[in-house]
Structure 1
Amino acid sequence: MRFADFHPGMIIEAGPRRVDEEEMLAFARRYDPQWFHVDAEAAVEGRFGALIASGWQTCGIAMELAVRAALHDSESFASPGVEQVRWPHPVFAGDELRLRAEVLEVRTSRSRPELGVLSWRWYLLNQHDKEVLELRATSLFDLRPAAARA
C-alpha cells in the first residue's frame, strides 16, 4: 500500500499464520531462553500447561503480517517506536494467528513535511479469536518522489 491509501478508521487484516513448536523453540533458544519457552517437560508443569511462544516472537509475527498486508512496496522506511505492548493470552504450538490493524492517524510530519506518519493499533488474534498481542505502532513513510528516495 502507498501512504496515500491509508486513512483513519481503516481496518487491515492479514493471516492466518500458523506457529509450530520447532519455530517457537528455535526463536526462544536464541532470543528468549526462559524455561517456559524452551523446556517442554517443565512447561507442562507450568502455569500454561505447555510451551508458549515468546512475546517477542509474537511481535515479529505481527510485523511479518503487517508487511505482507500493508507495508510491502510502500514508502515505509522506519519506526520511531512502539507503545503499549500487551500479551493478554499466550501463543501455543499449532495456533493460527491473524492480524487486525486499525489505522488511528495519518498525517505529514509537522517538522519534516517530506515524512508521512502513520499511527495504528495492531491486534493479533488466535484461531479462537483470543487476543494474543496488542500494540500501538508508528510507521514513517518517505514522501519524496521515487527518484529522490533512490
Structure 2
Amino acid sequence: MAGLYLEQFEVGAVIRHTLTKSVTESDNMLFSVMTLNPQPLHIDFDFAAKSEWGRPLVNSLFTLGLMIGISVHDTTLGTTIGNLGMTNTEFPHPVFHGDTIRCETEIKSVRESRSRSDRGIVEFEHRAFNQDGVLVARCTRQAMMLKTRQA
C-alpha cells in the first residue's frame, strides 16, 4: 500500500499532494442531494445568483471530504486504522464550480499508542487551495495509524 506507517511520519514534514481535481456542478449537486442538504446556495442557481456570491457555492462538506481524500494516497492508504477526529475546520474562501483544488498536508504530531503497541496517533493539518493559490479549506485531523509490521 502507498500509505505511510507511524514511524515514517516526521513532525513538520509537508507533503504536497500531486493529485488535483476540478470541481464540477455535478459534484456539488450530487453531494448535496446525497446528503439531503437543501441549502439553496448550493443547489438553486436563481437563489445563488441573487446572493452576495452571484453563483452557487460548492458544499463545504464536499470540499472537506475532497481535501482529505486527496491526501489519502500519500499518507494513510492501507495503513490507517481509523479517523479519531477533526478539529479547527475552516473555509476561509468559497469554492465554485470549475475551481481546481490542490492540497498539502503538514504533520503536526506523532505519538505511539499508550495502550496498543502496534499503533499510534498522527495529527495532520490538511490545507486546500484553489487554482489561484487561495486557501479554501483547512482542518486538523487525528488518525490512528499502524506501526511497521514486524517479521
- Name the structure 1 match of 2:58: 53
Q: Using structure 1 for the length normalisation, give the TM-score.
A: 0.90
Name the structure where helix makes up a greater proportion of residues. 1
2:93 matches 1:89: yes
| Distance in 2 separating the partners of 1:37 and 1:72 | 31
Question: How far off is 1:68 after superposition?
Answer: 2.2
Q: 1:1-150 maps to which residues of 2 (within 5 A)?
A: 1-3=3-5, 4-14=7-17, 15-31=19-35, 32-73=37-78, 75-143=79-147, 145=149
Structure 2 CA distance for aligned equivalents of residues 11 and 106 of structure 1 = 14
Using the alignment, how far apart are the partners of 1:27 and 1:68 within structure 2?
A: 22
Q: Which structure has more RCO (C-alpha within 8 Å, separation ≥ 6)? A: 2
CA RMSD of aligned residues (A): 1.7
Q: Percent identity?
A: 25
Amino acid in structure 2 at the alignment position of 1:129: G
- Structure 2 unaligned blocks of 5 or more: none
TM-score by length of 2: 0.89
Give the CA deviation at 1:5. Answer: 1.9
After superposing on structure 2, the runs of 4+ consecutive aligned residues of structure 1 that deviate more than 3 Å are 144-147
* More displaced 10-residue stretch of structure 1: 110-119 or 50-59: 110-119
Structure 1 runs not aligned, ≥5 long: none
Q: How many residues align?
A: 146
